[in-house]
Amino acid sequence: MKVYLYVLNTLADWEIAYLTAEINSGRYLDKTKTPVELIKIGNSTEPIKTMGGITITPDEDIDNIKFEKGDLLILPGADTWSEEENKKIIDIVSSIINEKVIIAAVCGATIALANKGILNHRKHTSNDLEVLKMFCPDYAGEDFYINQPAVTDDNLITGSGLAPLEFSYEVLKRTNLMKTETLEAWYQLYKTNEPKYFYALMQSLEEA
C-alpha cells in the first residue's frame, strides 16, 4: 500500500493535518504491518503554497505515478479546485476509483468530484448538499448524499471541511493503518479531551 497526498495551491492545511501527521510519523500505526510513506504528488514538482502560507514541494509529478489497488489518494480542500491544472487528477480519479484505489476527498475536493459525476451513484457527504447543487450544475447524486461529517462508501471517503478529525478517523479506519483499539482511543482523545483515552491509547500500543 502506498499513500499519496495531492498538493495544490491554497491547500487547506487543517483539513488533513491529523491524517498527515499520523501517517508521516507512524507513531500510532500498527507496527505489525509494513510501514507506509506519505508521498506528495502534484501537477509538477514545482512548490505550492498552502492557505496557511506554508510551501510544500511535491515528491513526484502525477504523470509518473501508477496507482494500484489498495493505495490511498488524499485530496485536500483548496480554493483552486476549479482551475484547469487540477482537472487532470480528477480525470485520473474517475478511472482509478473503479480499480479499488482508496479515494479520500474533503471539502473543495468533493465539489471537484461532484462536477465530474463521481458522486452521482456513491454515498457521500460534503460541506453541504446545497453547496454541491449550487456549484455543480450536473450533480445528480442528491439521493446518495448523507448529512454526516464524513462518509465511507467502499473505497470512497468524503468529508466536510469542518470535520477534519472525523474525516481522518474514517480514512484510518478504512485503511486499517491503526489497530482498532488504538484508533478508537485516538479518536476519542481528540474528540473529548478526556485523559482516560490517552491512557487507553498508550495501553493499546503496549499490547502490540
Residues designated catalytic: 107
d(CA 11, CA 124): 21
* Amino acid occupying residue 156: L
Exposed / middle / buried, residue 12 (Cβ in 10 Å: 0-12, 13-18, 19+): buried
d(CA 133, CA 138): 8
Do the strands 3-6 and 38-42 form a parallel or antiparallel pair, or are they unpaired? parallel
CB contact at 8 A, 62 and 41: yes
At a CB cut-off of 8 Å and minimum separation 6, what does 116 contact? 90, 91, 93, 94
Ordered strands of the 102-106 beta sheet: 60-61, 38-42, 3-6, 72-75, 102-106, 156-159, 150-153
